[in-house]
Copies of this chain bind each other. A is one copy, B any other.
Amino acid sequence: MPKRVDHDERRRRIAEALWRIATTRGLDGASLRDVAAEAGISLGQLQHYFRSRGDMIIFALDHINELAGRRIRERIGALGDVPSPRAILRESVAEMLPMDDKSRSGNLVQIAYFMQAVHDERLRGHAKEGVPLLRGMFADQIRRAMDRGEVAADRDPETEAMLLICLVDGLTSFTLLDVQTPEQAMALAEAHLDRLFTP
């Protein structure tokens, strides 16, 4: 079905045009017309793919979450056959932090979504959807570590998973603000993991 593939490709291109706008001036500044211009297509063509600004933003958010999840899975895949829970958590955190220009842009887009989601119920539903999945994935690894005797038995995996997610979010903000370097942020995350991985 080549036609279908082309349509998906076109939608992704539109999403990427939206991200470029979101990175530089936030989502507020992104009208359908602006996004069409940035994607190099006409407004009519864009409206063929997305009937409303809301539909376009939801698609772009799903697409960025999918790409982020894929990058984390690729990094974990590169660790070998049976990576340790700590290695999996470490690589996930490293992928989430703004360690280079590319992930810095990704983080800026997510913050632009976040700002919009705080005021928009439909977008909020979507924006927060990924958190329980990530928390579940982190909690599974912490449970595995407890089984291996690497994390103390009295820790609560769900609590520890959410603490790690919140910590990475804050580390990201203060790295984007130049309060600390990406390397300092990663060192702080490692210090937190050292404390978590105490039998």
Interface of chain A, helix or strand or loop or mixed?
A: helix
Cross-chain contact of A112 among B115, B171, B188 (Cβ < 8 A) = B115
Chain A residues within 8 Å of B, Cβ to Cβ: 24-26, 28-29, 108, 111-112, 114-115, 117-119, 124, 127-128, 131, 156, 159, 162-163, 165-171, 173-174, 176-180, 188, 191-192, 195
Copies of this chain held together in the complex: 2
Which of B117, B170, B195 is within 8 Å of A169, CB to CB?
A: B170
Given the interface pairs A163-B167, A166-B170, A166-B171, the reply to whether A178 lies near B26 with Cβ below 8 Å is no
Contacts of A108 on B, CB cut-off 8 Å? 118
Contacts of A180 in B (CB 8 A): 162
In the complex, chain B residues whose CB is within 8 Å of the CB of A127: 177
Query: Please, which residue of chain B has its CB at the minimum distance from the CB of A117?
Result: B177
Expressed in whole angstroms, the minimum distance between the Cβ of A120 and any Cβ of chain B is: 11
- For residue A121, give the distance in angstroms from its CB to the closest CB of chain B: 9
